[in-house]
Structure 1
Amino acid sequence: MLQHFAAGPLDQVDIDKLGQTQYPFLYCEILGANIDNGVMSYDLELLVADMIQTDLTDRNQVYSDTLQMLHDVLNQFIQALANTNTTVEDDYKAELPITCTPFTARFDNELTGWSGSLTIEVSNKNNLCIAPFS
């Protein structure tokens, strides 16, 4: 059902800036990273958005549809991490729970949907053999 994917700062989620014509779409913004002893974590915001009617009559249906799509994307990612046949290495994991928030008219257009905050942890091994200094 998703028609498009883009990534970057969320202030670019605007019809005019993206040239977006196909909906619904998935958008990802990297919010930051944390480096800890043995672990690096990336904070992401995923957003699934669709256009609604100007009279808002279909807003509840769009909320329902976009939340289900966000749920499906997150489940697919989490299942890929758990699946032994995946190309994703075993030292990745998604932290649960994932907080989701609905929005309408969050941007300069009629976008409606859900955003979800996700943290992905990866192994951060201290390997001096690959350090960029001698």
Structure 2
Amino acid sequence: MSNTGIRGFYLLTETIEQQLLADVNVNTVTTGDIYDIDLSKQSIFPLSHIIINNVSAEEQILTFNVSVLAMDVVDESKKATTDIFRGNNNEQDVLNTQLQVVNKLIQVLRKGDLYNDQFQLNGDANCEPFYERFDNKLAGWSATFNVFVANDITIC
């Protein structure tokens, strides 16, 4: 792959975006500051958000530390709670489907098409759930991982 070092940021974020949008459990993919997104719009969910935390520039590779937040709105039922374990909302359903979203992305980076395209997971990903985040009761997962991208920039 040519120019990955020069355009590594664009290629990585666009490649992750395309992979996430291919998932049936993702309607919208965003990047940048999460607080700049109008999270009050119901139509954008389920939503995945890409954050590049930092990049380590080594001689032959760029190591991107990436976080992907996969989330959806938790719907509350007006019916009385009959199941103490599951409650009267869809929070467990949201956690289940959004974990599938980040897990698929991680596996494709580990050994799938993205790995073959030179976007390679370095080590394991850390996935952390979140509950009732932001103003509209979102739940989901934050997955943080490192991705190797070839650093083919020349100094000539």
TM-score under structure 2 normalisation?
A: 0.66
- Which consecutive unaligned segments of at least 5 residues does structure 2 have? 1-23, 78-87
Select 2:97's aligned residue among 48, 59, 65: 65
After TM superposition, give the deviation of residue 126 of structure 1 in Å: 6.2
Select 2:132's aligned residue among 105, 127, 133: 105
Q: Report the equivalent of 2:83.
A: none
Q: In the aligned structure 1, how far is the partner of 2:153 from the partner of 2:44?
A: 44
- 1:96 match: secondary structure: strand
Q: Report the equivalent of 1:37.
A: 59
Match for 1:111: what amino acid? L
- 2:120 match: secondary structure: strand
Q: In the aligned structure 2, how far is the partner of 1:46 from the partner of 1:34?
A: 18
Which structure dedicates a bigger proportion of its chain to helix? 2
Aligned pair count reads 121
Q: In the aligned structure 1, how far is the partner of 2:55 from the partner of 2:115?
A: 22
1:80 aligns with 2:104: no
After TM superposition, give the deviation of residue 28 of structure 1 in Å: 0.5
Q: In the aligned structure 2, how far is the partner of 1:9 from the partner of 1:25?
A: 14
1:6 aligns with 2:38: no
Seen in structure 2, the aligned counterparts of structure 1 residues 61 and 126 have a Cα distance that, compared at 3 Å, is closer
Contact 1:40/1:124, CA 8 A, preserved across alignment: yes
Contact 1:13/1:107, CA 8 A, preserved across alignment: no
After TM superposition, give the deviation of residue 57 of structure 1 in Å: 2.1
Q: Report sequence identity in percent.
A: 21
- 2:62 match: secondary structure: strand
TM-score under structure 1 normalisation?
A: 0.76
- Which consecutive unaligned segments of at least 5 residues does structure 1 have? 130-134
After TM superposition, give the deviation of residue 44 of structure 1 in Å: 1.0
Contact 2:108/2:115, CA 8 A, preserved across alignment: no
Which structure dedicates a bigger proportion of its chain to strand? 1
Deviates more, 1:34-43 or 1:59-68: 34-43
Seen in structure 2, the aligned counterparts of structure 1 residues 38 and 51 have a Cα distance that, compared at 3 Å, is same
Select 2:122's aligned residue among 77, 83, 95: 95
After TM superposition, give the deviation of residue 33 of structure 1 in Å: 0.9
After TM superposition, give the deviation of residue 20 of structure 1 in Å: 5.4
